[in-house]
Structure 1
Amino acid sequence: MGKGAAEMGKGEAYGKAPVIPRPRQAESKSKRGVKFKHFLPYLLISPLVIWILLTIFIPLSTVVRESFYSAGFVGTESEFVGLQNYTEVLASGAYWTSWKNSLIWVVGNGILQTVLAYSVALYLNKSSRISNTARTWMIIPWIIPTIVVAIFWQWIFNGSYGIMNAVLMNIGAIDQPLNLLGNPTWALPTIIFINSWHWFPFLTVLILAALAGIPEELYEASAVDGANKFQEFWHITLPSLQHISFALGLVGTLWMFNIFDIIYALTEGGPAGSTTTVSIQIYQEAFEHFEISSASAMSVVTALIMLVFAIVYIKFAAPKED
């Protein structure tokens, strides 16, 4: 009878069903099924990963390579020059002037859009007929294409036939037309205002969604304790929005820094370079001055600086978990 019969008899003696060994073939199929389920997610995202590799990392590696050569036009023959392009970029006054304009652009947009978005979101957070209507129509500036925004704001601010000048002159506020987009002093602040008008509704919607997640019981408890509106905002609303504020601060800064379209559509970096940000400077260097290698070096240096900013921001500004 052997060992198997003895074990079966032992199982019956204790009132348990005998243990029947699983066939090795069933175990093999089970293991293959577990392995397939494990690799299925990676299999599903592999097309996206391949697409990212083809559309981001290959062009990026090309830019890094071109920064070590002396290429002028795209596709022309060039010589290896080592770090010469980087040395010229770091010593370029025009490049660092564009950085100054970019910092003014990012800070100006950040402050204005944050104030507008939080103010409007807090005002619309209470349910009313005006609030519900405003929530629906407020998003219109954001969904308008950028080129359309640029065209009608050019029409409004134009120094010759702009509607703003016509209104101000009719009411006697000014004696002669203003050319805000053609003035080196006012061009950049004017574009900051236009871009903030275009983007703050999107931020408002995100903040409204975050406000909806704050428990109403917190405000009721604070009201019982005698807290005023400012104290509620400072001690309840702001801490509850720290995660969305952190995300908007990081993504918004990087996104705003790289904006090209509305600046180029309105002024093309002028007048006298007063609105030439880093993105405009790189474009002009590559496709107007035909210095692909120099533009590539600028791109690499800019990307490294922004990477350092992102790392520092995440390290020191990330919300602390309780």
Structure 2
Amino acid sequence: MLRRLLAAVAALLVVAAMAAGAAWHYADSYLHAAGPLQQRAVIVLPRGGHVGTLAQRLAAAGAIEHPWLFETLARLTGRDRGLKAGEYAIEPGMSPLDVLALVASGKVLLHPIVVPEGLTVQEVYALLRESDVLAGELPPPPPEGSLLPETYLVPRDEPRAKLVERMQAAMRKTLDELWTQRRQGLGLRTPEEALTLASIIEKETAKPEEYGLVAAVFYNRLEKGMKLQTDPTVIYALSQGRGPLGRELTRADLEVDSPYNTYRVEGLPPGPIANPGKAALEAALDPAPVDYLYFVASGDGGHVFARTLEEHNRNVARWRKLKSQNGSG
């Protein structure tokens, strides 16, 4: 009798062990198996969310099957701890273990915030204000020219103030590095003067291959005691950095009483007129070795450069004729 009872107990234990083994094998297979997701999905684990929240959102996105099993196994294996709130990109075929590892890593989805070269601080602030990725209020506007234009990768709900600080730090770092590498004998006294010149270069041409040539023109004019006579500084004086003027400059505009009007004042204006990019800063500190003194639009988005006033006048006449033929002047 006792022997039969022991045999029965042993049999039950074997069955239980087999069942437990089968259950664990199934659970392990589930955790490692590729998920059903066919296309990339984005899910958000909110602050205060737990593994149950994650399971429901993954199931709703089609990234897992059996959310209750996902939650249960995550808890049993201790993988429910250390999950980090944020926005995550779930790729096709990711297993439940892959997903748990991703959310525990905190490698949230990053969004590009593109800040083009040549915008004023007011224009950059308008861009940041309109972004639906960023959160929070903007800080008081920093000095003109202090924000480095580039593409910044940020997580959703990145504070706007934090991104502004990052842009300022990037400009300081870039300007400091380029200033130490500047060509000697340029006549610039401070990095701030280089920043001012770079901002004018940035606004004068949209073609990076012309940056060095435009920089050379301004250096050559400064060296000869000539006024810079650059339209973007007048536009800045008239618009106060709000953005494009929306019309062509008039002769009366060139007489505006402003320290930024380089048709009236000598040398550089008192500060930048926009936020220049790295390429314009490099040109301001290493201009092309040419003796041009003038340039005018060529009609194809670029410019024609000249060494003498006579040559420049011919280029201007061609430009005006081209504008007239195109009905724009």
Larger Rg: 2
Task: Give the TM-score normalised by the residue count of structure 2.
Answer: 0.19
Return the structure number with greater relative CO, CA threshold 8 A, min gap 6.
Answer: 1
Q: Which has the higher strand share?
A: 2
Task: Give the TM-score normalised by the residue count of structure 1.
Answer: 0.19
Q: Which has the higher helix share?
A: 1
